[in-house]
Amino acid sequence: MKRVSDADQIDQAPVQDRDLLQRMSLYFDAIDHRLEQGQGWFIFNAPSNRARRIADFIGYRTSEHQPALETYFLPWRDFSVSAYVTEVGLSQLEAEMERHEDDRLVKEVALARQVTASTESRMLDADLVVLTGLRPKSWHEATYLDRLVDARYHRKQATILLTPEMPGRLEDDFRQLDPSSTFWERLFERMYETSLVAL
């Protein structure tokens, strides 16, 4: 079966996405240089269908690269679960484990540690992380996202964030979780400094 070229994907995209996909095509034409600089994307106004179209385009372009790029696609739902387990669940399980000697609980804690460590390792080590559906609704999500973006920023690693929200709405979401705006300001500053921005 013949693969659809990136030019065909751009032509078939809705008008609102053609300019973005053309810009992304230029980005991927120079992906080695972009990765050396740690340059990613911060894409707003990407609800599920648009996010899927953009992620498919990224997947197509990264699959073409030789040698293969280690690209980690992570939907917000999976990110949120990892954030909960890492920031909340593990400490609760470990506290319960200290109170009760239970082999089943020991195994559950070991499995939870292994799964979260594997996910975190992939997020920190991948050439490119693509996080779709970013929409924080809890403190543990904002904290975990802050740590991920901070770590990749300091390592000069490229990150692509896609959110269904417009900038003002996403800022409001963060302010509800953190009235000091620390998380939002740090996220926006780091992504703005190192990324191309699209609406």
Write the DSSP assignment of 79-116 as a string of letters.
HHHHHHIIIIIHHHHHHHHHHS--HHHHHHHHHHHHHH
| 119 within some domain | yes
Q: How many domains, in total, are found in the chain?
A: 1
Q: How many CB atoms lie within 10 A of CB 166?
A: 12
What pLDDT, on a 0 to 100 scale, did the predictor assign at position 55?
96
| 34 within some domain | no
**What kind and span of H or E run contains 28?**
helix 15-29
What pLDDT, on a 0 to 100 scale, did the predictor assign at position 141?
95
| 132 within some domain | yes
| 178 within some domain | yes
The amino acid present at 12, given as its one-letter code, is: Q
What pLDDT, on a 0 to 100 scale, did the predictor assign at position 1?
41
| 94 within some domain | yes
Peptide bond into 75 cis (omega under 30): no
For residue 192, the enclosing domain spans 43-62+69-198
* Predicted TM-score of the model (pTM): 0.87
Tell me the average confidence (pLDDT) per consecutive run of 10 residues in the chain, 199 residues long.
60 78 95 96 96 95 92 96 82 68 74 82 96 96 95 97 97 94 95 95
| 79 within some domain | yes
Q: Phi/psi at 132 (nearest 5 deg)?
A: -105, 150
What pLDDT, on a 0 to 100 scale, did the predictor assign at position 103?
74
What pLDDT, on a 0 to 100 scale, did the predictor assign at position 5?
64
What pLDDT, on a 0 to 100 scale, did the predictor assign at position 17?
86
- Rounded Cα distance between 101 and 96, Å, is 9
- Rounded Cα distance between 87 and 91, Å, is 7
What pLDDT, on a 0 to 100 scale, did the predictor assign at position 105?
72
| 20 within some domain | no
- Rounded Cα distance between 27 and 34, Å, is 7
| 100 within some domain | yes
What pLDDT, on a 0 to 100 scale, did the predictor assign at position 36?
95
CATH number of the domain that 166 lies in? 3.40.50
- Rounded Cα distance between 56 and 189, Å, is 27
